[in-house]
Amino acid sequence: MDKSIYFIKNEDLLNLVEKLYADYQVFVPFLKDSSSLKKDYCYQRFKPGLSWVLNPYRVTEPLKTFFTYPREELSGYFCPDKRILNVEQKTIVLGVKACDIAAHRIQDFVFIEGVQEDALYRLRRENTLLVSSDCTDYKDVCFCLAMDVLPYPQKLFDLNLSSLNEGYLVEIGSPRAGQILEDNQSYFTPAKDTQIAARKSKRDIFVDKLKNHIIPQNMPRIDKLQDLIRKGFSLDTWSHFMLTCVECGGCNLICDTCHCFLLWDEKGKTNNLRLRQWDACQYANFSRVAGGANPLKNRTQRLRNRFIKKFDFFIDNLGIPACCGCGRCIEVCPGKIDIREVLKDLAKKV
Amino acid sequence: MTKDIYRSIEATIEDIIEESPTIKTFVLRTHEPFSFKAGQFIELTLPGVGEAPFTPSSDPSVKDRMDVTIMKAGKITGLLHGIAKNTCVGIRGPYGLGYPLDKFKGKDILIVGGGVGLAPLRSFLYALFSQMDNFNKVVLRYGARSSQDIIYKKLLPDWSKTDKMNLVLTVDIGDPSWQGNVGLVTTILKDLPVNLDNCVSIVCGPPIMMKFVTLKLLDLGFNPRDIFLSMEKNMSCGLGKCGHCRIGSFYICKDGPVFTYEQLSKLHDIWD
Ligand SMILES: Cc1cc2nc3c(=O)[nH]c(=O)nc-3n(C[C@H](O)[C@H](O)[C@H](O)COP(=O)(O)OP(=O)(O)OC[C@H]3O[C@@H](n4cnc5c(N)ncnc54)[C@H](O)[C@@H]3O)c2cc1C
Ligand code: SF4
Ligand code: SF4
Ligand code: FES
């Protein structure tokens, strides 16, 4: 199939997922909690008969959970090649959003690029097809536009779905996704120009709606952030906002760009284990060294560290901030520390 | 099969040399080929217990053996000090960039070490010795807490006999058996026999020592780009992935561990 945009009817998308289930483990979004004011969606492993809905905005958990795990055995210790890479299953994830995809530029940079490539991460990435979709609604905490992320993916997805009249426009973003369409041609019809125009106007309308939500938040512009962080190093912003931090690490762990981990050795029942577990720079011992010295001794330094890493380090090293505006850290924080408010406070004082 | 970048290879501890009451040199024979450049570091594993970063202290041109000089400082280093010869440990690496030896050609080289910081400098010295024609002279200034804490005691006399080499030691606290200088290492940085216009300085030691040596060298007129410092931070992966060793917009493990003062001078809290 040489064109890149097709139309699929609602029921055919459901049929396609049932069919793909034969060859892939498929994750679909489901409505976790309909009672809360704004409904939360999560990923769930698909089984035939399961009813699922495409999420209007991002799901609760970060996409990184498919590529690194909170705690996992990593290495065959001394024995070469002992790790069984081929147990990694081919996977399809539906319900991915533009912010998740933007965040994965950071994860890919860390684990695939750089001095050496993490083979396990790469394998999981290669085994996993990302089926994204346009956002049709937002959460209060969303601020993607302020991070230059539009609410519909434009690249780095495998398939993107845009809902339109009893079905979806399906955009092909990779050759392997093209193959899926090829193999299931009966479900798809080439998109008409009118449909593509309709997608554009739907997108424009939603971006306007989102602007009405985000512009009044009055966040500093993205091209000012690095300067703010640098000039704001000694401001009281950090010591003020840290006061309610309980050092749970939630903001790091839930963040789709945060990638820090700790290698951990342990004695297992029969052999020694090397584990990798997610780490968080908000934990007190994150940078402690022998003898007890710790360059990030207090919460003020650690809160600042999180922002330096996101808005100075990554802008220097990759040209983009390590924040996609998903707002997960805002939702998770028991101390009600809001990344937007921290940046606004800096902008006020610098 | 793709490479597992977090895997350690096995190494046997063939010999253990007691350097001082708190410092031992471990002679390792790796079971798979392993080589490093002076200034690069490794992660050494105590199987089932944990890892810690160390800089090999031996001659980088020796391929089948590697020395690591380790000060007792906490959990892993404490346990290492308790183990016997022929124990198996793990190593991974080498990591980091090492010393840019090519840039030092035709220059006077001032080496300033403090305590166990002489370990990586020893490896660097061996690398210099193997191509001494390329350097004008090598001046070594080393400070230890007391005469007991001086490491490589047997090697130091040989080094001072080496052509083009000038060596001065000092201890922080004197004792009756010690005839030499008493005072911090900065006190033996006076009247250095080097041409300041054509000299690089290589510094390794505890953060507080590096701080005051750097200030002293700047005072003497060294250019910040000619002062090479070995930086230390908490490390886990060694590969620029785990995020632990950030300093400014660098990772010490992959962009260092050796940095010029020029690279660091504008950053905050570098000595913490
Ligand atoms: C590049 C570099 C080169 C170095 N070279 C040398 C050298 O040549 N000689 C020398 O003596 N020292 C050297 N050091 C210092 C040496 O690495 C520390 O002294 C050592 O890490 C202390 O480890 P410890 O477990 O004994 O100390 P501890 O105080 O017990 O631990 C220190 C830190 O290690 C981490 N840690 C402890 N246990 C674990 C675990 N199970 N898993 C993961 N992390 C853990 C923790 O973050 C802890 O805060 C070097 C350091 C660096 C960064
Ligand atoms: S989520 Fe909030 S309370 Fe928890 S570590 Fe982050 S800032 Fe602190
Ligand atoms: S910092 Fe917060 S808003 Fe930004 S990507 Fe991470 S979790 Fe999302
Ligand atoms: S030690 Fe992991 S990033 Fe440097």
- What's the pLDDT tens digit per position in A109-120? 999 998 999 988
The domain containing residue A83 runs over which residues?
Answer: 5-217
Do A243 and A102 fall into the same domain? Answer: no
Per-residue confidence (pLDDT) for residue B213, from 0 to 100:
97
Give me the pLDDT at residue A271, please: 83
In tens, the pLDDT along B11-28 reads 999 999 999 999 999 999
Work out the average pLDDT over A317-333.
97
Nearest CB to A115; choose among B46, B74, B239: B239
Residues A162 and A262 in one domain: no
- Alpha-carbon distance A109 to nearest alpha carbon in chain B (angstroms): 9
Q: Could you tell me the pLDDT band of residue A179, with boundaries at 50, 70 and 90? A: very high
Q: Is the peptide bond before B257 cis (omega within 30 degrees of 0)?
A: yes
Interface contact flag, B48 A317, Cβ < 8 Å: no
Which residue in B has a C-alpha nearest to residue A117's C-alpha? B5
pLDDT at A38 over 80: no
**Ligand 1, atom 22: nearest CA belongs to which residue?**
A290
Contact A49, A39 (CB under 8 A): no
Q: How far is CA A69 from CA A113, A121, A277, in A?
A: 19, 10, 7
Length of chain A: 350
Q: Which pLDDT tens digit goes with each residue over A219-254?
A: 999 999 999 999 999 999 999 999 999 999 999 999
Question: Partners of B95 in the beta sheet?
Answer: B41
Taking CB atoms and a 6 Å cutoff, what residues make up the pocket around ligand 3?
A: A 103, 254-257, 323-329, 339
> At CA A28, angle to CA A25 and CA A29, rounded to 5?
155
CA dihedral of B252, B257, B259, B265, whole degrees rounded to 10 = 40
Contact (Cβ atoms closer than 8 angstroms) between residue B170 and residue B115 = no
- Ligand 1 pocket: which of B70, B76, B151, B270 to mutate (most atoms <8 Å of CB)? B76
Q: Are B137 and B110 in contact (CB under 8 A)?
A: no
For residue B37, which amino acid is it? Answer: K
Atom of ligand 4 nearest to the CA of B240: 3
Judgement on whether residues A35 and A174 belong to the same structural domain of the protein: yes
Would you list the domain boundaries of chain B?
Answer: 8-95, 101-230
CA distances from B155 to A160, B164, B167, B243 (A): 67, 16, 12, 38
Which CATH code of 3.10.200.10, 1.10.3330.10, 3.40.710.10, 3.40.50.80 fits the domain covering B101-230? 3.40.50.80
> Same structural domain for residues A67 and A209?
yes
Are both A240 and A204 inside the same structural domain? no
Task: Give the distance from residue B219's alpha carbon to the nearest chain A alpha carbon, in angstroms.
Answer: 26
Q: Do A114 and B47 touch (CB under 8 A)?
A: no
**Could you count the other beta carbons within 10 Å of the beta carbon of residue A213?**
14
Residue B6 with chain A: CB contacts under 8 Å: 74-75, 263, 274, 276
Cβ of residue B53 lying under 6 Å from some atom of ligand 4: no
H or E, element range at B220:
helix B207-220
A126 and A253 inside one domain:
no
Claim to verify: residue A210 and residue A230 sit in the same structural domain? no
The complex scores an ipTM of 0.94
Mean pLDDT over A87-99 rounds to 90
Asked which of A187, A217, A247 is the last residue of a domain, the reply is: A217
Please answer yes or no on whether B239 and A114 come within 8 Å at the CB atom.
yes
What's the confidence (pLDDT) of residue A83? Answer: 54
Residues of B in contact with A309 (CB under 8 A): 243, 246
Distances (CA, A) of A138 to A33, A328, B185, B224: 16, 12, 62, 51
- Are the Cβ atoms of A263 and B239 closer than 8 angstroms? no
Domain count for chain A: 2
A319 and A213 belong to one structural domain: no
B247, amino acid identity: I
Name which residue sits closest to atom 38 of ligand 1, judged by CA: B50
Neighbours of A49 (CB within 10 A): 6
- Does position A2 have pLDDT exceeding 90, yes or no? no
**One domain, residues A254 and A269:** yes
Q: Give domain B8-95's CATH number out of 3.40.50.1580, 2.40.30.10, 3.90.1150.10, 1.10.150.300.
A: 2.40.30.10
Among B235, B249, B259, which residue has the most ligand 4 atoms within 8 Å of its CB, making it the best to mutate? B235
Q: Which of A181, A198, A217 is the last residue of a domain?
A: A217
Interchain proximity A309–B8, CB inside 8 Å? no
The reply to whether A308 and A163 lie within a common domain is: no
Q: Which of B96, B83, B120 has the alpha carbon at shortest distance from B235?
A: B96
CB of A243 within 6 A of ligand 2: the answer is: no
Cβ atoms within 10 A of the Cβ of A149, count?
25
Based on the fold, state whether residues A310 and A181 are members of the same structural domain: no
pLDDT tens string for chain B (272 positions)? Answer: 467 899 999 999 999 999 999 999 999 999 999 999 999 999 999 999 999 999 999 999 999 899 999 999 999 999 999 999 999 999 999 999 999 999 999 999 999 999 999 999 999 999 999 999 999 999 999 999 999 999 999 999 989 888 889 999 999 999 999 999 999 999 999 999 999 999 999 999 999 999 999 999 999 999 999 999 999 999 999 999 999 999 999 999 999 999 999 999 999 989 88
Q: Which of A152, A185, A217 is the last residue of a domain?
A: A217
Do B8-95 and B101-230 agree at the fold level?
no
Order across the sheet with A71-75: list the strands: A71-75, A272-278, A261-267
Mutate to test the interface with B, among A84, A263, A283, A306 (most CBs of B within 10 A): A263
* Closest ligand by atom to B241 CA: 4
Ligand 1 binding pocket includes B79 (Cβ within 6 Å)? no
At CA B22, angle to CA B16 and CA B27, rounded to 5? 20
Q: Are A254 and A329 in contact (CB under 8 A)?
A: yes
Angle at A105 between CA A104 and CA A109, to 5 degrees: 110
Verify whether the Cβ–Cβ distance B73 to A276 is below 8 Å.
no
Q: Which ligand is nearest to the CA of B244?
A: 4
Q: Which residues contact A204 (CB under 8 A, 6 or more apart)?
A: none
Using a CB-CB cut-off of 8 Å, the residues of chain B touching A77 are 7-8, 47, 90
Strand pairing report for A25-33 and A91-96: parallel
A266: which strand partners?
A273
* Whether residues A22 and A149 fall in one domain: yes
By C-alpha distance, the chain A residue nearest B245 is A287
In chain B, the residue whose alpha carbon lies closest to the alpha carbon of A285 is B234
Nearest CA in chain A to B31: A78
C-beta atoms of A119 and B5 within 8 A: yes
